[in-house]
Chains A and B, each alone.
Chain A
Amino acid sequence: MQADLGGPPPLSIDPGPLTASYMYVVRYGYSDTVLHNDNQLRIFPREGEGQTLLQSQLWTLPPGNGVSFRDRFGNSVQRYRVVENHTSLVVAAAGLVGLSSGHPVAGDVGLDEVRDVPQSFEFTSISPLVDPESVAALAAEVSGGSDSLLEVVRRVTRWVHEEVLYLRGITNVTTTAAQVAEVMEGVCQDKSHLALGMLRSLGVPCRYLSGLLTGQTGETHSWLEFLHPLRGWLGADPTRGVVLPPARDYVRFAVGRDYTDVSPVSGSFLSRGESEDCATIASVRFSSDLEFALEDGLELLENAYVVRNA
């Protein structure tokens, strides 16, 4: 039976959920006074699909005002609006999540089984940064005419992992999948966009994931999920070159069509000046306690406050 399922073998004993403590802090500095700043925050763990939210906290400076809601992709969102003068903005989120420790298992199926499913319209159409048509020729070449789902996902994921050079500073948050295919360089976001575009052009419904990589300190991470007709949404990570990664690898913040749907902080501000610098710190550690969150987050907030009053 296992040969039929394909993918990594399932763990014989599921050791039960793991608990991870995460933190995400971002600070924006501005070259002049900002009069108002209106944003949507998507930095809260999603519930379900192998992830349980145990605790979640948010600090903001200036405090501002906020309301929370769920967007059309089921992401938890905070509208955060500041109407007092400020020259820097700090947002810090921290909490605890339970992560399923098993490995996802799925058998291969024909590509035609995921074509024209209800999710197709949302997750194979053109989106702001991903135009499937623009990378369709490339996708046809890389997939080598395979008509099985897992095989196609594997080929595309590995190809992007191997052929697109991981390089910072080449691309930015507005770089499209087509542009990535042209320069063949970029970061995790670009690799995800390119792989999404290629898979969508082949008719595979797939979505962009934003979150954190466990065991890694640094920035946010992005990867993708494709739709399996029997198993639902399954992961693939073109940056790491992994298909069907275990749930314990990630803290999942938000899903969407591309980066524009899930950006951790998106919005606008009004100022004579510009956004000068942006610093992000993110960290995940396996722990059943809120480890670093409070002190680290608060320390960053204090530093920001000193800068603000300097």
Chain B
Amino acid sequence: MASEISAPATPGYNEWTDSSGQTRSHYAAIANAAASLGPAELAQRWGRANRQVGLDAFTFYLDPRRYRPAPTDWVPRVIPADHWEVISAGVAQRLKALNRFLLDLYNGSQDVVPDEVMYTSYYFYPEVQGFRPPGDVFVQIYGIDLVHLGEGRYVVLEDNLRIPSGITYQIKAVDMVSSHVPEFGADYDIVPYDIRQAYHDMFRSLCGTDSPVCVLLTDGRFGSAFFEHRYLSELLSIPLVEGADLYVGYDGRVYARTIEQDIPVDLIYRRVEDLEMFVPNLREAYMDNKVVLVNGLGSGAADDKLVFMWVPQMIQRYLGETAILEQAPSFNLSDPDSRRHVLENLDSLVIKARQGYGGIGVYVMPDLGPGDRTRVTHHILQNPEAFIAQETLDFSNHMVFNDQSGQLEPRYIDLRVFAIQDGNGNVTVFPGGLTRVALAGGRITNNSSGGLCKPTWVVRHPFQ
């Protein structure tokens, strides 16, 4: 039976197979389970799981007018525990340094990042200057995008400090695979985690009370990640509100309207960027410490793709440590010498719009034709400050099961890991993460660009 599900060898590092085409030892149990189920049964399971995705409104909208279940491949990704130790330490280190940087940016005189870069960042808010959030924490929820170059070498591509989404896709994908293809996980010791408890502890420490009133502020049911907002609100037992449900009272506190009475709110887990447009005076309430915002106002300044270049220096400056995780080598195009270098070596680079998100405004030059090349060259020459260049990394592939052909097919994957920081500065990194799978032939894995999700496990003893 095993021969019926073939796994072709691929260029670059494949996490599933080694260079000789053999299934790696920590995937043997999944491969065996897949082989004994057989392609027909697997295709049926895939169909059932995908129907469930639709029924559960497990969605990620690209276009608010079209219902779109989040496409998921159910072949799990296994991260060995020794890899995870490094990832987890590196993510925690990065989150602490970024937070310290933001505190210094708004309250001190940071000199790690050039002023021109910092103050031209769209998400740098001058009005936040002089403000210290509770516990000095600007970034409570952090999402970091990593790629795996092979043999445990993980490299950072991006930091997401504003309103990172995906943690519930991580949870949901793992839940779904354990209920629809339980055979896959039967022989693995998967590291568990409790998001509900961790978030509640974080909320309490930020508010300084045992039972704070918390709400989740959504951009509404047509927002791309509305599934996540709804799921989190249920998981955390906190009301889901839109801007119109909140107002700032005469006492300067924030209130949530309910049928019975208006309830004072201690903490807003916000999933919208431009708060003051939806809730008048919310900024004042926040800056008077009448309400806690998760994440803090102005945290996006360190989410800028150009500011990314200086994170290793932030780690050095604020923690006195060397960065644990490598990051993609990047170029500041405002500097004429770097710009010239980038234009001369364009074919090996990725060009990203500085304020882009979700894979929008990303040009992977090796994958583009000459027409696009001319267009990107003009963009760079005309508006160098609007872009950043990064070296193209040959990152890892994984297998997705094609339920039409019954074959496994290689695709590029990345990993978004989530971490939280509580009011005492303690960081929790949730084991695993959301593995995002690029479309066939592409390298852009963002869900906003149509990528797939994949369940991801951190496994204690993967080598049975």
Contacts and interface: CB of A to CB of B under 8 A. Distances in A.
B378 A67 contact: no
Given A67-B129, A126-B378, A126-B382, A121 B339 contact: yes
Contacts of A67: 115, 119, 126, 129
B44 interface: no
Contacts of B339: 121
Contact of B340 (A70, A77, A121, A126): A121
B277 A69 contact: no
A72 B116 contact: yes
B384 to A, nearest CB: 9
A64 B127 CA distance: 8
Contact of B120 (A36, A40, A65): A40
Given A35-B277, A270-B277, A81 B127 contact: yes
Contacts of B336: 118, 121-122
A36 B297 CA distance: 15
A83 B126 CA distance: 10
Contacts of B382: 126-128
Interface residues of B, number: 25
A118 B339 CA distance: 13
Nearest to B336: A122
Contacts of B335: 72
A8 interface: no
Contacts of A274: none
B381 interface: yes
B318 interface: no
Interface in A255-299: 270
Interface in B379-405: 381-383, 385
A127 B381 contact: yes
A83 B127 contact: yes
Contact of A69 (B119, B276, B383, B385): B119
Q: Taking chain B's interface residues, is the majority helix, strand, or loop, or is none over half, making it mixed?
A: helix
A71 B276 contact: no
B283 interface: yes
A66 B115 CA distance: 13
Given A70-B115, A121-B340, A65 B127 contact: yes
B129 A65 contact: yes
A254 B321 CA distance: 40
A128 B382 CA distance: 5
B116 A79 contact: no
Contacts of A77: 116, 119
B125 interface: yes
26 contacts: A35-B277, A36-B274, A36-B276, A38-B122, A65-B126, A65-B127, A65-B129, A66-B126, A67-B126, A69-B115, A69-B116, A69-B118, A70-B116, A71-B120, A72-B335, A79-B119, A81-B125, A81-B127, A83-B125, A83-B283, A118-B336, A121-B336, A121-B339, A122-B336, A126-B381, A127-B381
Interface of B: 115-116, 118-120, 122, 124-127, 129, 274, 276-277, 283, 334-336, 339-340, 378, 381-383, 385
Given A79-B119, A79-B124, A81-B126, 19 more contacts: A36-B274, A65-B125, A65-B126, A68-B119, A69-B115, A69-B116, A70-B116, A71-B116, A72-B385, A81-B127, A83-B125, A83-B276, A83-B283, A121-B336, A121-B340, A122-B336, A126-B378, A126-B382, A127-B382
